[in-house]
Amino acid sequence: MDPVIAPISSKGQVTIPAQIRKILHLTRTGDLLGFIPVKEGVLMKHLEIREEDFSEEEWDKLEKLANRKGKSYKDAKTFLSALKKL
């Protein structure tokens, strides 16, 4: 497959081309996409969170974190640390 190119907006946003969304099975609004730095660049992976994976208390904490606009975490350890502090 030839490289697929997409421009980055002034806000740092990228529209994922339809053919890539299809390959990653990104079909619904709100689907989650993980970005994993690798030696060759960045690996994108469709993430699925199942409701049964979390307790009601954990879902409440996740919702609070999701509502913090513009907040991002450098790695999973930092994210989990922030989650535990809620």
Query: Could you tell me which residue, 49 or 23, shows the higher pLDDT?
Result: 23
Query: What CATH fold (topology level) applies to the domain 1-48?
Result: Pemi-like Protein 1; Chain: D (2.10.260)
CB atoms within 10 A of CB 52: 6
Q: Could you tell me where the beta strands, DSSP code E, fall in 30-86? A: 32-38, 41-47
Region(s) of the chain under CATH 2.10.260.10: 1-48
pLDDT of residue 51: 67
Tokens of 35: 């970005």
Query: Could you tell me which residue, 52 or 3, shows the higher pLDDT?
Result: 3
pLDDT at 6 over 90: yes
CA–CA distances in Å: residue 67 to residues 63, 64, 70: 6, 5, 9
pLDDT at 22 over 80: yes
Which pLDDT tens digit goes with each residue over 44-68?
A: 888 877 767 778 888 787 777 777 7
Q: Could you tell me where the beta strands, DSSP code E, fall in the chain? A: 32-38, 41-47
